Structure 1
Amino acid sequence: MNKSIKNISIVIVLLISINLLNQSFYKRFDITKDKRYTLSETTKSSIAKVDKNLFITVYLEGDFPSEFKRLQVETQQYLEELSSENSRIKINFENPDNQREALIKKGMMPSQLTVEEDGKMSEAIIFPWAEVSLGSKSTVVSLLPNAIVASQEEQLQKAIENLEYSFTNAIHTIQLKTQKKVGIITGNGELKDIYQYSFLSEVAKKYRLAKFTLDSVESNANKTLQDLTNLDLAIIAKPTIKFTDKEKFVLDQFITNGGKTLWMIDNVQADQDSLVNSGKILAYPRDLGLTNLLFSYGIRINTSLIKDLYSAKIPVATGQVANQPQFKNLDWFYHPLVNGNPNHTITKNVSPVRLQFANQIDTLKNNIKKTPLLVSSLLTQKVGTPKIIELQSIADEVIETDYKGGHQLFAVLLEGSFNSAYKNRVKPFKTSLLKEKSKPNKMIVISDGDIGKNQILKGQPYDLARDKWTNQQFGNKDFLLNTVDYLLDDAGLLKLRNKSLKIKMLDKQKAYKERTFWQFLNLILPLILLFAFGLTFNFLRKRKYS
C-alpha cells in the first residue's frame, strides 16, 4: 500500500513538474512545407520593438461560412505566433453582430459572400477586419484582399498569404514616433485637393503630408530648394502648366540630394469630363517642359495615346424610354485596364488599374535599373495627336487587325544613381546644395495624371478604388499606396507581399456528389468494423474458455 502511494506521489510530482516546465519554456515547430508559420526577420524586428501592451481585436467570431472558418483558424494561429514571440501582444476574437454600426464608422465595411453548401447557394455577411491598438493610437487591418479573383477559394488563399504583411505593417505603423514627410507639389496646375482626397487621405494616416508650392522659386529659389530637401518624397500629380528652368532645377537637385519622387504625368491634353459634356474633344500634345529632365533619368513619355481592347467601361446614353435617357456600360478603349508586374512587391495581388487617355513610355539605355510596373495587353493601338476624339466612336465595329501594337509601358520604377539633368550645363541659379549625381535613389513615373484622380459624388470625393457609374472595382488606390510605401519603406515591409502559400482547398462539387460514400466511410464503416471486431473477440474468448 505504501509503495503504491509512493508511486502515485512520484507520478503527480512528475506531472506538475512537466506542466511548470511547459509554462516556462514554449516552443512551436513549423513543419509546413511553405513555412507558413515562420515569422520573417522584418516581422520579428517590428514586434521586438513593442514595449507595452498591444491589443489586437479580430472580428472573425460567430456564425459565418464554414470555409471562412479556415481564415479564422489561420489568423488565430498566426497571431498566436506573434504573441509567443512577444508576450505584450494580446489577442482577442469578438463577434461583430452587436457592434456593426460602430465598426462601419471606423471604416470596417462588411463583405457579402456567396456561399455554396450542400449544392445550394446562399448569401452571408462577415466583417473580415481586425483592430490594432497601442495606447491611445489604433489602426484597422483588412483580412480580405481587394484583388479581383476567379473564385472565393482564391480570395481565401490570397487573404491567408496577406496575413503577415497586413499585421506587420499595422504594428510597424502604429509604433512610428517620427513620420516621414511627403510633399504634394503645387504651382503648375496640378490636380485639386478634392480630386486626390481618396488617395492622399490614406497616405496621411502613415506619413506627414503637406502641400509644397513652387511659386516661390522665382523670388527665392535657394530657400525653396532648401525647404524641399527637408521632404522625403515629392508627389507631382497631373501638372498642366509648363515648368520653368528654375523649377526644373529645384526638382532635379531635390532628386540628386536623395529625395524620392512620384510622377503622374499627362503629356496629352484630353479630358473625359469634357468629352462627356460635348461629345468630342481635341486631344493634343501638352508641353510641360519635363522631357529633357526625364530623358536624363532614362525615360521618355511620348505624345501618342494608347487604345486597348482590354479596357474599362463607361456609361453611354443608348436611347430614351418615357422621356428618360437609358444608359449602357460599354468598353471605352481609351481607358486601358492594365495589369501590374506579378513579380514585384508593388503590384503583386493588386487588381487591374484603370488609366484614362494614357501615353506610352519609352526606356533609354543608361546606368539606371528600370522595372516595368504597369503594362497594357497585347491588343493595343497607338493614336497620334493632335486627334479629334468623338464619344460616338464607342459604337464603331472593332477590327482586331488594327490592334496589334503589343504591350505598352505605362508605369516604371527607376532605381540607381541619377545624373543631374543640368550636369555640364549652365545652372539657372547658384546653390550650395549642388550635386551632379545622386547617391542610390529611386523614383516612379506614371504616364497618366488621372491614375490618382477620384470622382465626385454629391459634392464629396468618391472612393478611388471604384467607379461611381459602373460600380467597377480597380486597383488604383492600392497601387499608388504601394508605390508610396515602396519609395519610403526602410523596413522592407512590402517584401512580405511576395509570400506565397499552397493551401489545399476542398472540391465542393466533388464532395457533394460523393457525400454518401464519404459519410458511409467515416461514420458507418467504423461502427461495422467495431461491431465485427466485438463479435469476433467474443467468439474467440468463448471458444478458448468454454
Structure 2
Amino acid sequence: RNLSDRVSITFFLDGEMPAPFKKLSNETKELLQEFRELGKSNIQLKFSRPGEGMDDTSRINFINYLTDSLNLKPTNVQVQAGAGESQEERLVYPGALISYQDIEVAINLLDGQSMEGGYQTLNNAEALLEYRFANAIQKITTDKIPVIGYLLGNGEPQSYNVYDLVTNVLKPVYGFGWAPIDSFPAVPKEFDAIIIVKPTIAFTDDQKLKIDQYVMNGGKVIWMVDQLWAEMDSLSRSQSDFVAFDRGLNLDDILFKYGVRINQDLVQDIKCDKLPQVVGNFGDKPQVELVPWPYFPLLSSYSGHPISKNLDDVLSIFPNSIDTVSAEGIKKTVLLATSSASRSLATPAIVTLNSAKTREEVSSFNKKNNL
C-alpha cells in the first residue's frame, strides 16, 4: 500500500500439475491478487512457467539464472500426459521472482520444508504464503538495510559455525559488524540489533549498563545464552558422565528486568534425538546402537508465530528452561517448547550416558511444554 515504485512479481507454479500443487498455485494467485488490489499500479503480476515465450537459448539461460544465482530449485512431479495416457515426470518451480528497481530476489515456497512430509509440506507452505511474500517485498523495497552486531568481550565463540552463520545467513540479508563491547563507550546506535551468542565469561555491571542503555534507546537484543557448563566434549573425555553447573554469567538481574528468568536446570524430554551408545558386544566387538537421549530434546512450536510456525522439530542440546516474569510494557511469545513428556533437573546435575530406562524414570517425565 505504501510502495513508492513498481514491484513486479512473476509466479512460476503454473500449468499442469498434481492437485495438491494446483491448490498451492491457486492459493498463491489469490493472495497476489489481493496484494495488487492493495498496491494498485505499483504491483505488477505475471503467471507463467520459467522461460515461457522465450527462445530455447534464452529459456535455458533464464532457468540457470533462477536455479544457480537465485537458488530457486525445481521439484519433480508426475502429471497425466493426456487423456488415457500414462503419467510423465515434469519439473515445476514452486516459487516466484520479485523485481524492484534494479534488485531481484526469488521466493521458494517450499524453502525450509522437506518433501518427505508429503502433501502436508504443501499445506505448511500455504500457511506461510503471506509471510514469505510480504517479507520479501519489505526487504527488497527497504531503503536502509538493517545492521546486525555480534557482541564480543565475554568469551563468545568465533568458530566455523559462527563464520557460517555470518557468511551464509546474516550477510546476504543484513549489514554486519563485530561489536567488542569494551571498545565502545556505548553500544553503537548504528546497530539495529545485536546478538549475544553463548557467553562464557561473567558480564560486568558496566557491560550490562551499556546493553541496557542500548535497549532503552530502541535497540534490539537476541540473547543466545547457555546458563550451564554442559558440553559434549566433557562427556567424550569422561566416557561416562560429567557434572553440569552454573556458568555464573551475572545476567539474572538484567534479564529479570526484561521479564525473563533463565533457570539453572537441564531440560529433558522423552521426545528427543538419539546418541550412538555401546549396548553390548557381538563376539569381541562392541555393538553400537542409536539410543534416545533425553538431554537433546526436540522442540516444537505451539504459538503460531510467523518465526516458528510450521517449523519441523528443532534440536536443542542441553537446554535450560525459561520462566516469564511480569514486566511492564513487555509482551512475551513462546516460540519453542518441549512436549508434554518432559522434566527439569536442578543443578549441579550429573549428565550420564544412561538414558531413562525404568518405569519410575519414565513416569517422572510429566511436565508439559517446558519453555
TM-score, length of structure 1 as denominator length: 0.56
More helix by percentage: 1
The residue that corresponds to 2:134 in the other structure is: 168
Pair 1:245-2:205 in alignment? yes
- Does the 8 Å CA contact 1:57/1:94 hold for their aligned counterparts? no
- Please tell me the residue identity of whatever aligns with 1:337: L
Once residues 56 and 266 of structure 1 are traced to their aligned partners in structure 2, the CA distance between those partners, rounded to angstroms, is 42
Alignment correspondent of 1:141: 107
Q: Which amino acid aligns with 1:382?
A: S
How much has 1:124 moved relative to structure 2?
A: 7.2
Larger relative contact order (CA 8 Å, sep ≥ 6) = 1
Select 2:266's aligned residue among 305, 323, 347: 305
Identity in percent: 32
Report the alpha carbon displacement of residue 104 of structure 1 after superposing the two structures with TM: 3.8
Q: Report the equivalent of 2:56.
A: none
C-alpha separation between the residues in 1 aligned to 2:357 and 2:90? Answer: 42
Mark the CA change 1:152 to 1:353 in structure 2 (over 3 Å): closer, same or farther: same
- 3-state secondary structure, aligned to 1:365: coil
Residue matched to 1:525: none
Counterpart code for 2:170: V
Q: Distance in 2 between matches of 1:72 and 1:297?
A: 43
2:17 touches 2:77 (CA, 8 Å); kept in 1? no
Mapped to 2, the partners of 1:296 and 1:142 lie a distance apart of 40
Distance 2:161 2:49 in 1: 37
**Secondary structure at the residue paired with 1:294?**
helix
Deviations 1:146-204 (A, max 9, x none): 35799644433332332222222212211112122221111111132531355443333
Instruction: Say which SS state the counterpart of residue 369 (structure 2) adopts.
Output: coil
Which amino acid in structure 2 is aligned with residue 203 of structure 1?
A: L
C-alpha distance in 2 between matches for 1:95 and 1:123: 17
Among 2, 10, 19, the alignment partner of 1:57 is 10
Q: CA deviation at 1:325?
A: 8.1
Equivalent position amino acid for 1:256 in 2:
M
How far did 1:251 drift? Answer: 1.0
How far 1:308 sits from its partner (Å)?
0.8
Using the alignment, how far apart are the partners of 1:124 and 1:317 within structure 2?
46
Match of 1:91 in 2: 46
Flag the structure with larger Rg: 1
CA contact (8 A) 1:145 1:158 kept: no
Aligned partners of 1:83 and 1:91 also within 8 Å: no
Structure 1 Cα separation of the partners of residues 200 and 174 of structure 2: 26
Task: Choose which of 181, 189, 203 in structure 1 pairs with 2:147.
Answer: 181
Matched, 1:403 2:355: no
- Cα distance, 1:115 vs structure 2: 9.5
Residues 248 and 293 in structure 1, CA contact (< 8 A), matched pair in contact too? yes
Instruction: Tell me if 1:204 matches 2:166.
Output: no
> 1:322 and 1:137 mapped to 2: Cα distance?
64
Cα distance in 2 for partners of 1:112, 1:172 equals 30
Q: Which residue of 292, 295, 306 corresponds with 2:256? A: 295
Q: Residue 9 of structure 2 contacts residue 98 of structure 2 at CA under 8 Å; is this kept in 1?
A: yes
- The answer to whether the 8 A contact 1:342-1:349 is kept is no
Residues 188 and 242 of structure 1 are in contact (CA less than 8 Å); yes or no, is this contact kept in structure 2?
yes
What SS is found at the alignment partner of 1:75? Answer: helix
Indicate yes or no: 2:352 matched with 1:390. Answer: yes
SS at match of 2:312: coil
Q: 1:60 to 1:363 in 2, by over 3 A?
A: closer
Which runs of structure 2 are paired with 1:433-472 in the superposition (5 Å)? none
- Which residue number in structure 2 is paired with residue 132 of structure 1? 98
Matched, 1:79 2:32: yes
Query: Residue 236 of structure 1 contacts residue 264 of structure 1 at CA under 8 Å; is this kept in 2?
Result: yes
- Return the match for 1:215 from 159, 169, 182: 182
Structure 2: how far apart are the matches of 1:362 and 1:102? 48
Question: What code does the residue aligned with 1:107 have?
Answer: N
Query: What secondary structure is seen at the aligned counterpart in 2 of 1:184?
Result: strand
Contact 2:148 2:175 in 1 (8 A): yes
After TM superposition, the structure 1 = structure 2 runs for residues 147-546 of structure 1, keeping only pairs within 5 Å, are 152-192=118-158, 194-197=160-163, 199-200=165-166, 201-216=168-183, 223-225=184-186, 227-276=187-236, 278-279=238-239, 280-316=241-277, 328-367=289-328, 368-391=330-353, 393-394=354-355, 396-397=357-358, 399-409=361-371
Aligned-pair distance for 1:61? 4.3
Q: Distance in 1 between matches of 2:98 and 2:136?
A: 7
Q: Deviations over 1:275-318 (max 9, x none)?
A: 34653333121111111222233322111101111122344466
2-structure distance, mates of 1:349, 1:364: 27
SS class of match (2:150):
strand
CA distance in 1: counterparts of 2:288 and 2:362, whole angstroms: 26
Distance apart, 1:258 and its partner CA? 1.9
CA contact under 8 A between 2:156 and 2:197: conserved in structure 1?
A: yes
Cα distance in structure 2, aligned partners of 1:290 and 1:312: 30
CA distance in 2, matches of 1:326, 1:60: 49
Letter in 1 for 2:253: N
Q: Residue type of the partner of 1:246?
A: D
Alignment of 1:110-121 (within 5 A): 110-111=74-75
For the residue of structure 1 that corresponds to 2:185, the secondary structure is helix
Contact 1:188/1:241, CA 8 A, preserved across alignment: yes
Q: TM-score of the superposition, structure 2-length normalised?
A: 0.80
Which residue of structure 2 lines up, in the alignment, with residue 496 of structure 1? Answer: none
- Which secondary structure does the structure 1 equivalent of 2:264 belong to? strand
Q: Distance in 1 between matches of 2:21 and 2:142?
A: 32
Distance 1:362 1:125, change over 3 A: same
Q: CA deviation at 1:395?
A: 7.3
Alignment coverage as a number of residue pairs: 352
Map of 1:535 onto structure 2:
none
CA distance in 2, matches of 1:63, 1:320: 56
Give, as a single letter, the amino acid of the residue that structure 1 aligns with 2:13: L
* 8 A contact 2:275–2:291 mirrored in 1: yes
